[in-house]
Amino acid sequence: MVRMGDKTIEHEASEQPVISEDMCSGCGICVKKCPYGAITIVNLPEELEDPVHQYGKNGFRLFGLPVPKPKSVVGIIGPNGIGKSTCIKILGGQLVPNLGRDNAAWKDIIDYHRGQEIQAHLERVAQGGVRISLKPQNVDAIPHAFDGTVGELLSRTAELDYKGFADELEVTPLEHKRVSEISGGELQRVAIVAALSKDADIYLFDEPTSYLDVRQRLRMTRVVRKLAEGKAVMVIEHDLAVLDYLSDFTHVMFGQAGAYGIVSTLKGVRVGINEFLDGFLRAENMRFRPNEIKFAVKPPSEEWRGKVAFEFPSFTKSYEGFSVEVSGGQLRKGEVIGVLGPNAIGKSTFMKVLAAVEKPDSESIGWSARISYKPQYVRTDFEGSVRELVQSVPKDNDLFQSIIEREVAPLYDNMVPELSGGELQRVSIALALARDADICLLDEPSAFLDVEQRVKFAEVIRKVTEKTERTTLVIDHDITLQDYVSDRLMVFEGEPGVRGKAHKPEGMRAGMNRFLRGQGITYRRDPNTGRPRANKPGSQKVSEQKSSGQYYYTSE
């Protein structure tokens, strides 16, 4: 051991210094004195007992486990890095919990959970008596593990007849395609079909809506809910509207990302989501976030009344087998325009034309606007740190430092090639917003972000847009995010993969009614948080709202 001030540092075989938890008092002096910001001290709540699992000395700790419920869907909500995927791996038998020790055996694990509802499940996992089907979080890894067609993959992995699931999720037309050639949304649907086609007792879905549009998300929820009529299902999801629509119960996970995570008691889905937004768990008497997240209860005005900054003309863009027709429209200062529509309908193409990445069939749109563009798929060849990347990009430094920097500063010392999808997304959004531009174009900024990160960046998008009096356009499939951030909407309709038509920007009520009418779903407002809630199919609320033509902005 090496003594450093009032801290004891232990050197292991790897020569990696760690702080002795037994001798650290948590005073915080070393954190302030360290010139490189390399030391972080996290004080755990005193009430916490031994963890269910711990990753190495001074590593992340998980306290508690979610509970599968027969014939029900249990949702799990919480920020990234809080242990949700670790929970799924333990419940699925992929990871044996160690109780924070080196020598924990299954007997110790069962004894630790004796008398708890989770005990019976863990006993079955230990004995190999529970069949698990897992849809993993990172579907991008599938093409690296399997080289063949979609049909070959499903035939090899399916234990049940997968044809019905493939038809329902529109995977059947993909069966002849190679797994390495399909899009992210197509790959996600293939992974869901593969999970559904297992003969299992418990089905675990880790972030099943990534890359899916609203219509595909609803199709997925209907299939999974039908599955839950006879099986136990658990879902990790960051789209609140989907989680609410899909789940019967929920667990809230909280703590400090990368340090520790705590699983709440089982709650009704509405109660759980509302307490998560409130930042306060009533049964636990625990406040885990200083601020609550609220949505506007009253619908916005039909038109945004800011001064017109730019106009884009009507245009078409054609490819082999696909074309999109865009109606001209006005972009006004200080407004955020949400862009909604199915996948493969031309939304990204529209944004690429505005950014001059693609040319329309006719001449260019003919404007001199300065554009900042974050594409749908974020990639970079930069080899240095996040700090070096930020320093290398031209930007409005005052704007960046006053509003944006706090959202990416914790990542400064990370190397860009080692960033996760969510971390790279945060950096890309921040840099796009920081550029000195008249128009900011953001294509699917919510991808890989958790609920809190989505809300934080929605607030940053609004603040930057209003302060700079620019126009920001946001393509995203998260209805809750679009409701939170948008002033007006631009709706795309048509036949995905064949032809698309973009309507001009219109007021939120008109735009949401147009979009949701095309999807055949209705939303209402939660009276406590103001968040959008999708109505369950066949409910009286659905009939009332459809008959009145109001698919959105009605209260419960």
pTM of the model: 0.82
Neighbours of 302 (CB within 10 A): 12
173 shares its domain with 314: no
* Rounded Cα distance, 55 and 35, in Å: 27
Nearest to 429 by CA among 443, 412, 414: 443
Whether 473 and 544 map to the same domain: the answer is no
Instruction: Kindly compute the dihedral angle of the four CA atoms of residues 402, 404, 409, 412, in this order, to the nearest 10 degrees.
Output: -120
Place of tokens 């069966």: 175
**Do residues 451 and 541 both lie within one domain?**
no
Q: Please state, in angstroms and as integers, the Cα–Cα distance from residue 253 to each residue in 75, 179, 289, 546, following that order.
A: 11, 34, 12, 36
pLDDT of residue 271: 96
Same-domain check for residues 376 and 498: yes
What pLDDT sits at residue 257? 87
Residue 409 lies inside a defined structural domain of this protein: yes
3-state secondary structure at position 161: coil
Residue 52 within a domain: no
In sequence order, which residues have a C-beta less than 8 Å from that of residue 401 and are 6 or more positions away? none
**Given this model, what pLDDT does residue 39 score?**
59
Residue 141 and residue 25 share a domain: no
Same structural domain, 233 and 312 = no
| Token pair listed for 186 | 């197509």
What is the domain extent for residue 433?
308-519
CA distance 324 to 377: 20
Residue 247 belongs to some domain of the structure: yes
Are 449 and 396 a contacting pair, CB within 8 Å? no
Answer yes or no: do 241 and 345 share one domain.
no
CA 352 to chain centre: 24
Q: Are residues 458 and 367 in the same domain?
A: yes
CB distance 432 to 372 below 8 Å: yes
Residues 179, 312 within the same domain: no
What is the per-residue pLDDT for 301? 52
> Residue 409 maps to which CATH number?
3.40.50.300
Please tell me whether residues 319 and 174 are part of one structural domain: no
Cα radius of gyration rounded to whole Å, the chain: 25
Q: Which of 217, 209, 267 is nearest to 75 (CA)?
A: 267
The answer to whether residue 296 sits within a structural domain is no
C-alpha of 456 from chain center: 13
Residue the block writes with tokens 């619908």: 299
Strand stretches in 107-248, DSSP E: 132-135, 202-206, 232-236
Cross-strand bridge partners of residue 196: none
> 3-class SS at 213?
coil
Shared domain check, 164 and 18: no
Are residue 280 and residue 336 in the same domain, yes or no?
A: no
Q: Give the pLDDT of the chain (556 residues) as one tens digit per residue.
A: 333 333 333 444 445 556 565 566 556 666 555 665 555 555 545 556 789 999 988 789 999 999 999 999 999 999 988 999 899 889 988 899 999 988 888 999 999 999 999 999 999 999 988 899 999 888 888 888 888 999 999 999 999 999 999 999 999 999 999 998 888 889 999 999 999 999 999 999 989 998 898 889 988 999 999 999 999 999 999 999 899 999 999 999 999 888 899 999 999 999 999 999 999 999 988 888 888 888 766 555 555 567 898 999 999 999 988 999 999 999 999 999 999 999 889 999 999 999 999 999 987 787 889 999 999 888 888 999 999 999 999 999 999 999 999 999 999 999 999 988 889 999 999 999 999 999 999 999 998 899 899 989 999 999 999 999 999 999 999 988 998 899 999 999 999 889 999 999 999 889 999 999 988 888 888 888 888 888 887 788 888 888 888 888 666 5
Asked if residue 294 belongs to a domain, the reply is: no
Total tally of structural domains belonging to the chain:
4
Give the separation between CA 407 and CA 427, rounded to whole angstroms.
8
Q: At a CB cut-off of 8 Å and minimum separation 6, what does 491 contact? A: 340, 341, 502, 503, 506, 511, 514, 515, 518
Contact 340, 516 (CB under 8 A): no
Q: Please report whether residue 302 resides in a domain.
A: no
User: Does residue 38 form part of some domain?
Assistant: no
| Tokens 């700790």, residue located | 61
List, in sequence order, every beta strand (DSSP E) within 459-531. Answer: 471-475, 488-495, 499-502, 506-507, 523-525
Residue pair 224/175 in contact (Cβ under 8 Å)? The answer is no
HSE toward the beta carbon, residue 359, CA cutoff 13 A: 4
- Residue 49 falls inside a structural domain: no
Query: Considering only CA atoms, which of 22, 60, 19, 57 is closest in space to residue 41?
Result: 19
Total residues belonging to the chain: 556
